[in-house]
A and B are shown apart, each in its own frame.
Chain A
């Protein structure tokens, strides 16, 4: 599935030629066929921080040490990444009746405001609370897998990898699971916005997402249940009672953050297992090793690329970055950095250096990391338990997409049926 390469942006004068490398996060041909092989290439061919003329011109940070430092330096590397120029352009293009523009709070904020908005939702994503969901997540995974066992083949993203986190998300928030098809369509439309091209279209899509949740949000105000939307009505932000717009913003963030991330984590992991019968065999024989495998899969196939805006002129790991220049945090490459991991291309569940940056670092450490780990571990456990050895049909190789989440479009699997 070819994607158009973005136009080239002229290199600013202060950037040395030796730091320039042509890499389009959305359309790079390597990304679309084998994203992590492409990441290994990039690690071999570039300095820890380089500049690409694609996607509007971006710094790309791919060194592990650089990214670790950048993630913790929120003053220099801000999440408020809509530059004044970009904001002006977007507002100029908006129709006058666009209405309220929802905002994925608090991913787009810096400390100290970031912490104010993150705190009220930390409890529900804590290890303690997420552990209470394990049984229901296991039942769900079992149900989804049992539905396909007799078929001998499937397109795994559609059959299991996508519905699992979508249903978990709907339940956690308190949205009606009967509207699953509608939510899956919203997810699909959200993901189709690959190049992030048209800001107005993105805003309209965000409004659709919020519109789909608003009736339930309002209902929960008067009839609270045991779910996140009900819980949110009871919180205070900076001493002020929460507003409908606050809850809509949280809803948007949780929608964006929780869906295509986990499903693609599952996709990358299952793709690897399908291509490595020896690893499947070892894990079936030793299921207690699955949690180690999950961590090593997260390292080997890290797949998110957050963005930052540099707030000041800074010398950073060999690059002179100017204020308001934007940075892609190429986490997938950081977890393949030989400066950090010996033989990084090797999948080794018992490796000594096992701390990865798949959930990033610093204050923006993925809030959903505990839920993600639970979903991944349970999915791998149930898949290995319920399916016999599975593999990828030769005529239907996996298809990937690029962007801020390196994702799996389709993953065909086959296995024998008794």
Chain B
């Protein structure tokens, strides 16, 4: 599973990291630090919840 993130549209809600801080790295200002995440096996449910938690809806799941 891969997550694609439209980084430019992140407004720093940090709700993804609130679900799974280890999956969603943030920069020092609290904005998503990456535009792609390779989800380690076993973390798919957390990844789905984290993606769904984004109020700006910028995290897209590629199964």
Interface residues of A (CB under 8 A from B): 72, 119, 122-123, 125-128, 354-357, 359, 361-363, 365, 369-370
| Least distance between A201 CB and chain B CB atoms (Å) | 34
Taking the nearest CB of chain A, how far is it from the CB of B5, in angstroms? 16
Residue B56 is within 8 A (CB to CB) of chain A in the complex: yes
A370 touching B56, Cβ below 8 Å: no
Identify the B interface with A (CB < 8 A): 11-15, 17, 26, 28-30, 52-56
Q: Which of B11, B28, B53, B55 contacts A357 (CB 8 A)?
A: B55
Contact partners of B53 in chain A: CB under 8 A: 354-355
Report yes or no: A355 in contact with B55, Cβ–Cβ below 8 A.
yes
Contact between chains at A361 and B26 (CB < 8 Å) = no
**Dominant secondary structure of chain B at its interface with chain A:** loop
From B52, which residue of chain A is reached at the shortest CB distance? A355
Q: Name the residue in B13, B29, B56 with the highest tally of chain A Cβ atoms < 10 Å from its Cβ.
A: B29
Shortest C-beta distance, B54 to chain A (Å), equals 8
Q: A362-B11, A369-B13 are in contact. Are A122 and B55 (CB under 8 A)?
A: no
Chain A nearest CB from B28 CB (Å) reads: 6
Please state if A122 and B29 are interface contacts (CB–CB under 8 Å). Answer: yes
Q: A122-B12, A362-B11, A365-B13 are in contact. Are A127 and B26 (CB under 8 A)?
A: yes
Starting from the known contacts A122-B30, A125-B30, A362-B56, 13 additional A-B residue pairs (CB-CB under 8 Å) come to A72-B56, A122-B12, A126-B26, A126-B29, A126-B30, A127-B14, A127-B26, A128-B28, A355-B53, A356-B55, A357-B55, A359-B55, A365-B55
A369 contacts across to B, CB distance below 8 A: 13
Chain B CB count within 10 A is highest, among A123, A354, A369, for A369
